[in-house]
Amino acid sequence: MTIALLLPETATSPRYESQDKPHFMEDVKQLDPNVNVIYSNAQGNASSQQQQAEAAISNGAKVLVLDPVDAKAAAVIANKAKQSGVAMISYDRLITGTPNVDYYVSFDNERVGRLQGQYIADHTKKGGTVVMINGAQTDNNALLFAKGAHEVLDPLFQNGTLKKGYESYTPDWDAANGLREMEQALTTLNNKVDGVLAANDNLAGSVIQALRPQGLVGKVPITGQDATDQGLKNIALGYQSMTVYKPIKDETQAAAKLAVALAQGQQPPAGLVNGQIDNGSKQVPSVLLTPIVVTKENIADTVIKDGFTTWAKIGVPPQ
């Protein structure tokens, strides 16, 4: 039996090569040593991902575990899989606009946004001005993060507790784009920024870079996501305020259990599927995992304790 793992890029999310790929392959082998895993990474190119998926189907893959570069464009891949009798698992990011997605495995991404929004709500002075640097609009997760954040912050914007000074989405989640957006926000607001909701650690780094010449680093709460080593280092140094940790091992284990069951022609293990998500075409049966807030105070008790990373990788002494 063959399963294909198709991941989207490496430029903005180093987790895919360092964690998702090896963990998934290890998890599959533990479940069934006879299953072959085809792996491809699209390096941010939706057309390349479609070609990789078609090649995997031609090479006998019975299940595609696909993290889409472009949520809408990947519908073509899901439709091709359906025509070929191949099961489709949308992994981490949701494939939208097609009924041909069998399952979705990810974290509760609206909750991620709510956690970020609540942190800004709790740590920005009353009447303060908030900047929102969201992710890429081609990534459905970025839309869910923003939706969750707005659920928390919009009532505060409306009643005057906080002010929304600037909001933008970031093409490709690219750090250079994020830097330009944050610099534009500072120019527009004459440097009057009291809190920044950055959608992930990569963009939080761009925010820090923009704030540094203005003498605002460490004075403005900044959110993040993914618990990257650089993000955690920024938190330890007091430059970034928090990140949202998503235990990737839990995600790969869930995806592996689902993929192996489908490859064997079986139903998912009891209790694994715990929700459903609307992808614009159907309610997709989903495995939704729980994200965790990490601040300077609990780095040791979360990402270090779990073995997700080490103080040496973060690059600071144990705290």
- Confirm if 221 and 124 have CB atoms less than 8 A apart: yes
Joined tokens for residue 245:
């940790």
Distance CA 92, CA 103 (A): 11
- The torsion angle over the Cα atoms of residues 304, 308, 310 and 314, rounded to 10 degrees, is -110
State how far Cα 105 lies from the chain centre: 12
What is the per-residue pLDDT for 13?
Answer: 79
Helix (H, G, I), strand (E, B) or coil at 269: coil
User: Considering just the CA atoms, what is the radius of gyration of the chain in Å?
Assistant: 20
CATH class of 109-245+294-314: alpha beta
What is the per-residue pLDDT for 11?
Answer: 86
pLDDT in tens, the chain (319 residues): 999 999 999 988 788 999 999 999 999 999 999 999 999 999 999 999 999 999 999 999 999 999 999 999 999 999 999 999 999 999 999 999 999 999 999 999 999 999 999 999 999 999 999 999 999 999 989 999 999 999 999 999 999 999 999 999 999 999 999 999 999 999 999 999 999 999 999 999 999 999 999 999 999 999 999 999 999 999 999 999 999 999 999 999 999 999 999 999 999 999 999 999 999 999 999 999 999 999 999 999 999 999 999 999 999 999 8
- Fold agreement between 2-101+247-290 and 109-245+294-314: yes
Query: 2-101+247-290: what fold?
Result: Rossmann fold (3.40.50)
Q: What is the pTM of this model?
A: 0.86
Side chain identity, residue 251: E
What is the per-residue pLDDT for 319?
Answer: 87
What is the per-residue pLDDT for 232?
Answer: 98
Q: According to the 3-state scheme, what is the secondary structure of 233-256?
A: HHHHCCCCCCEEECCHHHHHHHHH
What is the per-residue pLDDT for 192?
Answer: 97
What is the per-residue pLDDT for 14?
Answer: 81
Closest CA to 119 of 237, 199, 21: 199
- Domain extent listing, the chain: 2-101+247-290, 109-245+294-314
Distance CA 97, CA 261 (A): 25
